[in-house]
Amino acid sequence: MRHVRGPLYSIDVGEHTTETEDIDDLLESSIGGRALGTKLAHDRIPFDADPLGPENRLFFATGPLQHSMMSFTGRMSATGVSPLTDGLLSSNAGGFLSRNFTGTGYSAVEITGASDELVIVHVTDEGVEFEPVPELEEATVPETCEYIEDEHGLGSEHTTVIGPAGENQVRYASIMTSEERAFGRGGLGAVLGSKNVKAITFDGDSTREVDIPSLQMEIHGEAANSDSPMRDQGTTSVTEYANMVEALPSYYFSELSFEGIEGVNGDRVEEKKYKKGTCSSCAFACKLPTRDEESGLETEGPEYETLMAFGPNSGVDDIVDVMQSNKLCDEYGLDTISAGDTIAAYLASEDEFGNVDLIHDLVEKIAYREGVGDQLAEGIDRIHDDLGVENWSVKGMEFAAHDGRTLNGQGLAFATSNRGADHMYAEFYPYEYPLVDADDAFDKSGLEGKPPKVVELENINVIKDSAVLCKFSRDFITEERFEGLLDADYEDLLALGGEIVSLERHFNNQRGFDRADDRLPYEIPDFEQGLAEYYDERDWNDDGTVPDAQFDGGHGAPADD
């Protein structure tokens, strides 16, 4: 199995100590990225760790494909215990960081402990430097990136940064890289904030050798010549269709379509796009640098999920207003989905849908935990009773778009996801719109035949997150190509994916998660039967827990038998 190379570099930001550890055996069985981060986290984070305590650890990792020049490989993974869900969670970000990370020569970097003062941690192939930066307290992401470039000559592509939201431990704070790309879901930015780490930089010239087959150039060429609408509109290319089939959450999930869609659809985003945008080594170039000429506002995006949360779900029908919300979230370091949904919950409670000035004011208040922002910074699961609204979350995570009331398989996938209501954990929705070939598609309604597919998609997405490979590669990476790129049988890759999903679930089980957490705030046909079939496919217990027999008695990988 092709895998990333290099030791684990462990950094205790409280003690200002480091340790380098050979983990070759672990690398050979985990590829890299999310699988590596999950195995390390399962073994090294106490099951009862406070997500915002010094005992929580954060793991950054790339995969073998970051040693290629292939499209769809400009990403890397971060793993830790989420302050939003209270479970083990991996998030990955695009941009240009991953190649600079590989330059350090490490397969993974672990951050543990908590600093007594605000610091930047500079990681290179020669070691680490801890830089006290009290002057950057509550600085925005662009301000921090400017400081790092001015003082150290490192561009934003070398950085992971938190904004005021991370410092103030907003439960859905992001870690930002390349200024506008995010390790977005689950609040890992708050984990860095709890450790008093303002930023981490990565630099070096010690990239390890990983032999990637020539197949990479065939895939790269196909990406460069693709006619996908995503190359013009990014993920917003699905907006009109989602609205038409009633899968677009609107007015805090009270409706499934939005009458003002023409003001915030993919065409409006494309009109504001002023240049091509991409990630490292990617010729697909699906990113969305946008500009409003009248106001001078520039941002990257919004992508579809951001558009949903700050557009229809908040009752907003002007793309420029959504662009401004997106920009503020990037500057303050907030997950746009959770921030937008939580604000939509507040708008519902106050009958203020469409109040753009209030929305933008709330983004800032959340980041600094000022006034009502202190309450909203906790997320919907913790405050919905106080607001008098329904709890639109799963495992504490706010919903993405692609509504499961219409796309029932995606609904099941929201429920089973160890990460919570995240659309990318299984990514079932393309099979129900459908955005795939008719032979592979499923009817939107019901769950017949869907649980095994949810399992398969969750498993292969682990492999994508471990390789690390962008999810938008789905039309380019066949089973045969997975085998060629990773030097492994496809079934073995799926088995590794299943092992990692079970490791996540096992960790979360020790924190009290079970079947009661695999629930939705709405009903879909035959849900309990579909959930039982999902558990059966995974050889889990009926209560949603992983059998002890699958593990070696505690922290560690599933037993060989």
Q: Give the pLDDT band of residue 561 (cuts 50, 70, 90).
A: very low
Q: Please state, rounded to an integer, the average pLDDT across all residues of the chain.
A: 96
Give the H or E element holding residue 88: strand 88-93
Q: Phi then psi for 226, rounded to 5 degrees? A: -65, 145
One-letter amino acid identity for 495? A
Average pLDDT (155-174) is 98
pLDDT of residue 396: 98
Into which CATH architecture does domain 8-203 fall? 4-Layer Sandwich (3.60)
Q: Give the pLDDT band of residue 560 (cuts 50, 70, 90).
A: very low
Give the H or E element holding residue 90: strand 88-93
Residues 92-109 have pLDDT tens digits of: 999 999 999 999 999 999
CA distance 93 to 102: 15
Q: Interior CA angle at 210 toward 206 and 212, to 5°?
A: 140
pLDDT of 555 strictly over 80: no
Handedness of CA 410, 411, 412, 416 (dihedral sign): positive
Name 290's bridge partners: 273, 299
Average pLDDT (22-41) is 97
Name 255's bridge partners: 250
CA distance 65 to 213: 10
Alpha helix segments (H runs only) across 311-352: 319-332, 336-350
Percentage of residues of the chain with pLDDT beyond 90: 98
3-state helix, strand, coil in the chain (%, to 5): 45, 15, 45
CA distance 304 to 435: 15
Q: Are 5 and 208 in contact (CB under 8 A)?
A: yes
CATH code of domain 232-398: 1.10.569.10
pLDDT of residue 559: 45
One-letter amino acid identity for 467? A
SS (H, E, C) 73-87: CCCEEEEEECCCCCC
Name 88's bridge partners: 81
pLDDT of residue 553: 47
CA distance 92 to 425: 11
One-letter amino acid identity for 317? D
Q: Are 119 and 13 in contact (CB under 8 A)?
A: yes
Q: What is the DSSP letter of 558?
A: B
Q: Give the pLDDT band of residue 548 (cuts 50, 70, 90).
A: confident
3-class DSSP assignment, residue 433: coil
Average pLDDT (76-91) is 98
Both structure tokens of 392: 């639109």
pLDDT of residue 552: 60
Into which CATH architecture does domain 408-550 fall? Orthogonal Bundle (1.10)
pLDDT of 557 strictly over 50: no
pLDDT of residue 551: 72
For residue 328, with 0-12 CB atoms within 10 Å meaning exposed, 13-18 middle and 19 or more buried, which class applies?
buried
Sequence-separated (6 or more) residues with CB below 8 Å from residue 328: 334, 360, 363, 364
Domain spans, the chain: 8-203, 232-398, 408-550
Can 8-203 and 408-550 be said to share one CATH topology?
A: no
Average pLDDT (340-369) is 98
Handedness of CA 555, 500, 89, 148 (dihedral sign): positive
Q: Give the pLDDT band of residue 549 (cuts 50, 70, 90).
A: confident
Handedness of CA 385, 389, 395, 397 (dihedral sign): negative
Other C-beta atoms lying within 10 Å of the C-beta of residue 275? 10
Percentage of residues of the chain with pLDDT beyond 70: 98
Question: Which value, to the nearest 10 degrees, does the dihedral of the CA atoms of residues 207, 209, 213, 217 take?
Answer: 30
pLDDT of residue 89: 97
CA distance 59 to 30: 14
Name 394's bridge partners: 397
Average pLDDT (411-426) is 98
Residues 426-477 have pLDDT tens digits of: 999 999 999 999 999 999 999 999 999 999 999 999 999 999 999 999 999 9
